Structure 1
Amino acid sequence: MNRKIIYFSLLSLLLLFTVQDACARKKKEKSAKTEIKGYENHLKDCVASDSTGLMIMHRTKDKVLVEFPVRLLEKEMLLASSIINISDNGEGVVGQFTSPEVMFRFVRNGKKLEARMMTNQPLMREETGKEGVASSLLKSASGGVYKSFKIEAFAKDSSSVLVNLAPLFLEHSDYSNPFSSYAPNSMYGMVTRKFRCDTSRSFLKDIHSYPDNISVTCVLGYDVDYTAFGTITMQRNVPVTVTAARMLVLLPETPMDIRYANQKVNTAFLVRKQYVDEMSPLKSTHLVKRWRLEPSDKAAFKRGEKVEPKKPIVFYIDTLMPDSWKPYIKEGVEEWNKSFEKIGYLNAVQAKEWPKGTDFSSSNIRHSSICYAPDWMYMAQTSMHTDPRTGEILNASVYIHHNFLSLLYSGRCTQTMASDPTARTLTLSEKQMGELLKVGIAQQVGRCLGLTDNMGASYHYPVDSLRSAEFTRQHGLTASVMDNIMCNYIAQPEDVEKGAVLVQPGIGPYDYFPIRYLYAPVVADKPEKELVTLNKWVEDAYTAHEYHYGPRQEFYALYDPTALYWDLGDDPFKAADYQIQNLKISIANFMKWYAKEDYDISRRAELYASLIKLFTNRAMELSFWIGGLYLDEGKEGISFPVSKEMQQKALNYLVKMSMDLDWLTNAEVKSSLELQDLIVDKTRKYIFQLLFDRIRYVALCSEKSDGEYSVKNYMDDIHSIVWKGVLQNRVLTNTEMLYQNAFIDYLVKNISKNMGGGTAKNAGRQQALRGDSFKMDIFNEANSFVMGWQAQDIVPVNSHQDASVYWDMLLKIRNLLSSRISSASPDMKEYYGFLIYKINQILDDN
């Protein structure tokens, strides 16, 4: 009996589980059918669809429904944004790609699709051979969830999920900002813009699906606040509307082979953390940015024949571009083919007219463009989007602002009017403007090819060679077009008559080397093994003096006087002599040269300001030799102090230059331009201030040279120049007295900084007791010069907090004046007495 009960009970339980399992299966099937049915329901309000590309897309009034293929889960994608049109082009250029490079992986998590932002993914060497290391690194950099999307439905064949990605495309964030940080309304960074997106004025407009990306066109309404210098509110709630293309781009299924960068070569790079082995820490490694360039005929290429690439680098010229500019833009772009031919590629870089076909769109990230911007800005811009995994350039575009040609004209006119009579006009010929535009475009395209500025290239040429017709025709003005040099301000009138070149003709001899480093194939099965060949190329080029790289320096931290923005030639003092000779001719004659065309004198006023600026720029460049450091990437170390003799030569040259400035103005300038007679005094004060601005650099240079030329030595040299007339006990000139007062004012200003509520006397004595503290911050020095990859930042030096040297100098000046006052002339005696009284008041010792 008991046995029957047990059997019956087991049978009942078995039947119960069977029924429950069947019910569960039916429920699951019913659920699946509901989801499948819901797929079509979600599309009933669809107003547009595109099934021709990477993903099938549908748009309703407020949704972007994407059939996201399951095969694309976990694949790397890039989010990008570009401007289609805008209500205020002061906020951005039409056609401009603006948002930063952000990589995503889409991951399914239950009934949600997560967009995971991938950052700081370490690069792992394959030869580690350690099982589990790769997976551990991936798990440690799995990405943060940027957005999560509800899966609306599943495809019947389970090949895709339906999600609404509208929130990803319609939002405003730092990762999808359509506005350029460098825009006319930012006033070169002086104006801060705060953007607030108003969803009530934003809507979806269009969708496109391309073979490797999807694009959503959105109209976005913003309110913008403008703040000057971070504190002054200029305007609030200014409405701006932008039509933007938001793109989700599938990165290449087969990543391009990486190539390691070398800090001695002017190539752009991205930084990745690299795993070497379990005994070594993760280290930073640098990968070059370059296009994927492959020969169309590998066999012919290996035989040394020149072949075209499978996929050339093409730049499309904007239809808005003025027709007269287009031929020269094309020349500037294709100028780089000379360097590609050297490594075996024909027609590697091409400029084409914007295709008229309906399938071509500027919102496709695969199309690089040269766009025209009708606004007031002068400098051209570039943008670049790369594959964060490898550095492969996916898009690189150039944006030419309307006043760019005005900048080119101004440079050509002011720098060459003395030597070239054809430049003495307010309208240069189309050919003259064309050759300027060509070289300007070549510089920008160089950046788009993966090059960076090489500000040291011009220092390789002897100054006198730039006066030679034969040399300049063969070699140009600088060895690299990436040196930011346009015009020959050294050539004299007689040189131009003999045929000396006045405009950089195109790429220079150094420009072949970085193109070779980036794009020439290297026979190696791994990137690490390429380095043997690549490093040998660099070593050979430097040894043979065929290559010199001077990286761009930040304007607030200019250390190396051989790699400046506007310098020409290898002798700064001889170059200054030639330039000043030309400037004297220009200022003496420009009023009559341009009188016929300039009826209201406005253009001549602009030209005069530009001529004065050329001179003050030259003075500033010369000042960088005082306390300068050679940042030579081609040597073992990378920072070498400028010699004491060179620093003293620069100091004496600047003072001598400042004593002879009457030529900066003349009677016609004074009367016609209604200028007060202050330009000479203002320029002298500017030059004198330059000398004091170099003190902290002298302190740093002294540290690097074991005190060869100390701050005290430098101050004594300035003292011997400024107070030379007092030492000789003669009547002083107005210029000497101006310098002497400026010298005392500078000393007072720097002592006052250290008073701390006490007297200048006490502050100076307290500083003196502590000794000379012109020391660099060793930690910051070690972490800046040694790295070498980025532009050198400011190295902290304590000279601005040290009053002892200034205190001693004031005492020295007072003693000198006291020793000379009794034998001085009546006028000088009164002047000396006033200075002594002034110093006594300062030192609180009267």
Structure 2
Amino acid sequence: MSRLLTLVAVLALAGCSTTAPTVSPEAPGGAASGEKAEKPKPKDGDPKPYDEVITEDAVTERGLFDVHRIGDKLFFEIPDSLMSREMLAVSRIAQTPADLSPFINAGSKTAEQVLKWERNGNRVLLRKASYTSVASDTLAIAQSVRVNNFEPVVMAFDVAALSPDSAGVVLDVTSLYTDDVPAITGLPTSLRTQYKVRRLDPKRSFIDEARAFPLNVNVRHTMTFDAAEPPSNAGTGTISMQMYQSMILLPAEPMTPRLADERVGWFTVSQIDFGSNAQKADQKTYIRRWRLEPTDPEAYARGELVEPVKPIVYTLDPGTPERWRPYFCMGVEDWNRAFEAAGFKNAIRCEMPPAPGDSTQFDPEDVRFSTVRYVASETRNATGPSVSDPRSGEIIESDIIWYHNHIRSYRNRLMIETGAANPQARSLEIDEELIGETMRQVIAHEIGHALGLPHNMIASSSFPVDSLRSPAFTSEFGVAPTIMDYTRQNYIAQPGDGVTRFVRMVGLYDDYAINWGYRWYPGITSPEAETARLDALIAEKEGDPMYRFSTGSGGYNPDAQTEDMGNDPVAASGYAVANLKRVVPNLIEWTSTPGEGYDDLGEIYGELQGMYARYMGHVVTVLGGVRVTPKSTDQAGVVYEPVPRAEQERALDFLAQNVFETPEWLLDREILRRIEASGAVDRMRGIQMRTLDGVLDAERLHRLVEREAIDGGEAWPLAEYMDAVREDIWSELARQRPAISTQRRHLQRGYVETLEALMTEDERRGTDLSQSDIRAAARAELKTIRTQARRARGADAATRAHLDDIADRIDDLLENDG
């Protein structure tokens, strides 16, 4: 109205004038006087108006940034404030085709990388950032690090529209999830080659779901590939899989990292620090851990237990059966004892899932929530994955996964490993309290992984074998000083020992490791500033075997093995075999269900044989073994200590008695005639040959050769070792008229074939044999066996034919070898 009145006044003044005003033919915008100026037409590539892109039929979720679904299209609306902010992109397989890979299943992570959005005019680049090489921005070398680690562009997008307030951009990101983008694909090159994948089919690849939360955005999408030889459903020529992509905002200020030490076990992240003063490209390795800071630093400094500013919280999946929820929560909160060692109380807690209809905004896909997920699956496993900030090692979130059928694993193991001494384990329906306790400890083990702890396979060897037969000791300490070892059930306790606790528990090593990794030190601004205090914590425990750490040592350290128990593999395996001999005659009774067949019997009997073979493998590792104790240069003593000869000889004698002499007790007629028409002899041959292959493993023999060269008379010379093995395998030839059983004949033929490989192959399982004494030793043993076989006179036709065949085989081998 005011503009109209002004115009009227101007016209009135003009009417009183004697001269007409000059009128420009066009206004500055190009429109004639009195005409409304037209908006300039957008150029090709310019953003469109917001409401032309995000139309009324858009389905929108608000969060870290808004996501819009319009038909098959997906749009991200990213505010300018998030441009160049680093985000952790995690790619997982949500659903996988059958038989894709024994190492890949639903939930497997295929990529974890830092991405960031960068605006370049009317385009936005999605770049991959790397922290493999770093240097402080205050140093001159930082410029060199940048130009020599140029960040790749994963994808580029045109700005489709500006946000209504012009403080952000709208991008059509559909192609990021429907094209075959290498950075986030679920199908690696090796599998593409194996299954002869030709291409991703865009018509059968699509976005399933997009979700937005305050700190993350998640997208599920289906990828369908044309494949000439797919792993399953061959007639379709297709591999389809569903991927789950999560983009998580990283903290603006990274947590101060903590330097790793190989003497204490932690998952880690590594960087090459070019800004270090070291006279080399200095690799810095940081532990992965949650950010825990005390609410009351003064009280913490006085040694009082203090709650953390932000505790670690796990919420149970609503699909978790109610009967198991208390055990799962106990498994989570069992770690509070370890955090108390680090000065924190109530540092970790478990919350029940929201009740149906509860308005709580819990969503397992929201990165603010860590969860224990119960998966209805036949998979027999549990996992404890987590995602962490590669800049600092800070753990952002984790999801513990329990697969339903893992109950079956522990039901079977309890019967096999503890049934002899534990009456509660002698049934297919194990008491709920006992099976619940085993589930609790599995959850605790996986929580340990999610807190940053890897497997510690050396811990169990710190307990004396006889202590594991003590009711008082096992009630207080369980079966190992850490729950992170693969020591599940007490297979050493014998009937009559009175042991009542057969399963693992959080232990003293766990308290120590959590204290080392999570203890808070005030005023720390660099990792190097706290190393002296951390070293002091290690020094306090030096020499105590309960505080050692090792994930395992390449199959040569008898102290660090999977599934072992106690400090003496020979004694432990002896007790284990004694218990298995008690269990086998009872399996039919313990596994029988009226009206049902013998499937459970066959399954458990097969698993029992596998455990027997594992126990024998523990003893094999003693042969040519080397014990490993990680040390820093300021600690006395050596790191690698060969196993004494006497221990090795004892181990070989044990194998001769328990494996090479056929374990007839394992060939139970009553069981075999109920579960199969045939197969027992082949399985026994397989167990015996796997053990013998271990005894004659080329790397093991190489260690014997090397030790003889370095240690001289302390070593077990290769020639004498080979003689001892031969005498065990061919012990019948010491008799006048030997009678050799079926199983032993199979073993002896396998022995000759193994020696042939050692004599003729230039490389065997990664060990160079071309110039080795091993080849000569194998040839000498073959000649000795040939002589003995020719001289012997078998007591029966089968033995005579066998010995003649062995001698002729060796003749052919030696002749053809030239």
Which interval holds the TM-score relative to the shorter structure?
A: 0.7 to 0.9
Deviation of the 1:56 alpha carbon: 4.4
**Mapping of residues 742-761 of structure 1, within 5 Å:** 742-753=750-761
CA contact (8 A) 2:613 2:687 kept: no
User: Which moves more between the two structures, 436-445 or 516-525?
Assistant: 516-525
CA contact (8 A) 2:178 2:223 kept: no
Which residue number corresponds to residue 4 of structure 2?
none
Which residue number corresponds to residue 113 of structure 1?
124
Amino acid at match of 2:83: L
State the Cα deviation string for residues 267-296 of structure 1 (Å, max 9, x = none).
Answer: 000111112447733222211111111222
Deviation of the 1:410 alpha carbon: 0.9
State the Cα deviation string for residues 428-482 of structure 1 (Å, max 9, x = none).
Answer: 1111110110011111111011100001111000001001000001111111100
Which residue number corresponds to residue 465 of structure 1?
467
Aligned CA distance change for structure 1 residues 826 and 427 (closer, same or farther; 3 Å): closer
Which residue number corresponds to residue 404 of structure 1?
406
Aligned CA distance change for structure 1 residues 180 and 514 (closer, same or farther; 3 Å): farther
State the Cα deviation string for residues 563-604 of structure 1 (Å, max 9, x = none).
Answer: 111111111111122111111111122223444557412211
In structure 1, the residue corresponding to 2:176 is in which secondary structure?
helix
CA contact (8 A) 2:315 2:369 kept: yes
Which residue number corresponds to residue 781 of structure 1?
none
In structure 1, the residue corresponding to 2:125 is in which secondary structure?
strand
State the Cα deviation string for residues 380-402 of structure 1 (Å, max 9, x = none).
Answer: 12322111111111121122212
Aligned residue among 116, 135, 149 for 1:124: 135
How far apart, CA to CA, are the structure 1 residues paired with 2:198 and 2:379? 21
Deviation of the 1:795 alpha carbon: 6.6
Which residue number corresponds to residue 427 of structure 2?
425
How far apart, CA to CA, are the structure 2 residues paired with 1:688 and 1:214? 51
Aligned-pair identity (%): 24
How far apart, CA to CA, are the structure 1 residues paired with 2:262 and 2:333? 27
How far apart, CA to CA, are the structure 2 residues paired with 1:684 and 1:88? 29
Asked if 1:612 is matched to 2:622, the reply is no
State the Cα deviation string for residues 197-219 of structure 1 (Å, max 9, x = none).
Answer: 5433455566544333334x455
Asked if 1:842 is matched to 2:802, the reply is no
Which residue number corresponds to residue 9 of structure 2?
none
Amino acid at match of 1:714: Y
Which residue number corresponds to residue 652 of structure 2?
651
Which residue number corresponds to residue 698 of structure 1?
701
How far apart, CA to CA, are the structure 2 residues paired with 1:84 and 1:717? 53
Which residue number corresponds to residue 308 of structure 2?
309
Deviation of the 1:542 alpha carbon: 2.4
State the Cα deviation string for residues 53-88 of structure 1 (Å, max 9, x = none).
Answer: 433444433444444333332221222356778998
Deviation of the 1:227 alpha carbon: 5.8
User: Which moves more between the two structures, 809-818 or 578-587?
Assistant: 809-818
State the Cα deviation string for residues 717-775 of structure 1 (Å, max 9, x = none).
Answer: 22333444435645454376555444334334544546xxxxxxxxxxxxxxxxxxx9x
Aligned CA distance change for structure 1 residues 648 and 35 (closer, same or farther; 3 Å): closer
How far apart, CA to CA, are the structure 1 residues paired with 2:535 and 2:145? 29
Which residue number corresponds to residue 525 of structure 2?
525
Deviation of the 1:547 alpha carbon: 0.5
Aligned CA distance change for structure 1 residues 531 and 204 (closer, same or farther; 3 Å): same
Amino acid at match of 1:669: I
How far apart, CA to CA, are the structure 2 residues paired with 1:320 and 1:285? 42
State the TM-score, normalizing by the size of structure 1: 0.81
In structure 2, the residue corresponding to 1:324 is in which secondary structure?
helix
Asked if 1:559 is matched to 2:556, the reply is yes
CA contact (8 A) 1:340 1:348 kept: yes
How far apart, CA to CA, are the structure 1 residues paired with 2:767 and 2:761? 20
Aligned CA distance change for structure 1 residues 490 and 816 (closer, same or farther; 3 Å): same
How far apart, CA to CA, are the structure 2 residues paired with 1:379 and 1:485? 15
CA contact (8 A) 1:84 1:363 kept: no
CA contact (8 A) 1:626 1:698 kept: no
State the Cα deviation string for residues 406-428 of structure 1 (Å, max 9, x = none).
Answer: 11111111111111222111111
Aligned residue among 448, 452, 456 for 1:450: 452
Which residue number corresponds to residue 349 of structure 1?
348
How far apart, CA to CA, are the structure 1 residues paired with 2:152 and 2:258? 28
Which residue number corresponds to residue 689 of structure 1?
692
State the Cα deviation string for residues 337-366 of structure 1 (Å, max 9, x = none).
Answer: 110122222221122233443643333223
Amino acid at match of 2:257: I
Which residue number corresponds to residue 55 of structure 1?
65
Amino acid at match of 1:72: L
CA contact (8 A) 2:459 2:546 kept: no
Which residue number corresponds to residue 758 of structure 1?
none
Aligned residue among 90, 107, 111 for 1:80: 90
Amino acid at match of 2:716: Y
In structure 1, the residue corresponding to 2:424 is in which secondary structure?
helix
CA contact (8 A) 1:54 1:211 kept: yes
Aligned residue among 723, 727, 730 for 1:720: 727
How far apart, CA to CA, are the structure 1 residues paired with 2:309 and 2:669? 65
In structure 1, the residue corresponding to 2:258 is in which secondary structure?
coil
How far apart, CA to CA, are the structure 2 residues paired with 1:158 and 1:344? 49
CA contact (8 A) 1:442 1:507 kept: yes
How far apart, CA to CA, are the structure 2 residues paired with 1:81 and 1:366? 18
How far apart, CA to CA, are the structure 2 residues paired with 1:367 and 1:88? 30
Deviation of the 1:367 alpha carbon: 2.1
Aligned residue pair count: 767
Aligned residue among 416, 426, 434 for 2:436: 434
Asked if 1:711 is matched to 2:718, the reply is yes
Aligned CA distance change for structure 1 residues 549 and 194 (closer, same or farther; 3 Å): farther
Deviation of the 1:668 alpha carbon: 2.1
Unaligned runs of 5+ in 2: 1-27, 31-36
User: Which moves more between the two structures, 449-458 or 99-108?
Assistant: 99-108
Aligned CA distance change for structure 1 residues 552 and 318 (closer, same or farther; 3 Å): farther
Asked if 1:394 is matched to 2:377, the reply is no
Aligned CA distance change for structure 1 residues 400 and 181 (closer, same or farther; 3 Å): farther
In structure 2, the residue corresponding to 1:200 is in which secondary structure?
helix
In structure 2, the residue corresponding to 1:375 is in which secondary structure?
coil
Amino acid at match of 1:508: G
In structure 2, the residue corresponding to 1:264 is in which secondary structure?
coil
In structure 2, the residue corresponding to 1:605 is in which secondary structure?
helix
How far apart, CA to CA, are the structure 2 residues paired with 1:175 and 1:540? 46
State the Cα deviation string for residues 216-235 of structure 1 (Å, max 9, x = none).
Answer: x455353575969x9x9956
Aligned CA distance change for structure 1 residues 538 and 282 (closer, same or farther; 3 Å): same
Deviation of the 1:90 alpha carbon: 9.1
In structure 1, the residue corresponding to 2:111 is in which secondary structure?
coil
How far apart, CA to CA, are the structure 2 residues paired with 1:570 and 1:102? 42
Unaligned runs of 5+ in 1: 1-21, 755-773, 777-792
User: Which moves more between the two structures, 439-448 or 133-142?
Assistant: 133-142
Which residue number corresponds to residue 214 of structure 2?
211
State the Cα deviation string for residues 307-341 of structure 1 (Å, max 9, x = none).
Answer: 22222112221112222221111111111111012
Deviation of the 1:803 alpha carbon: 3.5
Amino acid at match of 1:80: V
In structure 1, the residue corresponding to 2:579 is in which secondary structure?
helix
Aligned residue among 760, 768, 778 for 1:806: 778
State the TM-score, normalizing by the size of structure 2: 0.83
Deviation of the 1:97 alpha carbon: 7.4
Which residue number corresponds to residue 513 of structure 1?
512
State the Cα deviation string for residues 118-146 of structure 1 (Å, max 9, x = none).
Answer: 124423368xx64x323332343341111
State the Cα deviation string for residues 236-264 of structure 1 (Å, max 9, x = none).
Answer: 4457474x654332211111111111111
CA contact (8 A) 2:558 2:627 kept: yes
Aligned residue among 49, 63, 66 for 1:39: 49
> RMSD across aligned C-alpha pairs, in angstroms?
4.0
User: Which moves more between the two structures, 538-547 or 303-312?
Assistant: 538-547
How far apart, CA to CA, are the structure 1 residues paired with 2:627 and 2:65? 54
How far apart, CA to CA, are the structure 2 residues paired with 1:843 and 1:35? 78
How far apart, CA to CA, are the structure 2 residues paired with 1:89 and 1:437? 28
How far apart, CA to CA, are the structure 2 residues paired with 1:834 and 1:72? 77
CA contact (8 A) 1:105 1:118 kept: yes
Deviation of the 1:148 alpha carbon: 1.0
**Mapping of residues 321-336 of structure 1, within 5 Å:** 321-336=320-335
Amino acid at match of 2:376: P
**Mapping of residues 25-36 of structure 1, within 5 Å:** none
